[in-house]
Chain A
Amino acid sequence: MLLGKVIGTVTPSVVYTGLEGVPLLLVQPLTKEQKESGKPIVAADATRQAGPDDLIYYEGGREAAMALEVTFVPVDHSIIGIVDNVNLREDA
Chain B
Amino acid sequence: MILGKVCGQIDSTINHPFYDGKRLLIIDKIRPDGSPTGSYLIAIDSVGAGVDETVIIVDEGGSARQIIGDSVAPLRSIVVGIVDQVAK
Contact = CB atoms under 8 A, between A and B. Distances in A.
Interface of A: 1-3, 31-32, 46-47, 49-50, 57, 59, 61-64, 66-67, 71, 78, 80-89, 92
8 contacts: A2-B41, A3-B42, A32-B26, A32-B40, A50-B14, A57-B10, A81-B24, A89-B52
B35 interface: no
A36 B83 CA distance: 31
A81 B8 contact: no
Given A32-B28, A82-B13, A86-B9, 11 more contacts: A2-B42, A50-B14, A57-B10, A57-B12, A59-B74, A62-B61, A80-B19, A81-B19, A82-B15, A86-B8, A86-B26
Interface of B: 7-16, 19, 24, 26, 28, 40-43, 51-52, 61, 72-77
Contacts, number: 87
Contacts of B16: 46-47, 67, 80-81
Nearest to A91: B7
B18 to A, nearest CB: 8
B15 A81 contact: yes
A92 B7 contact: yes
Nearest to A3: B42
Nearest to B19: A81
A82 B14 contact: yes
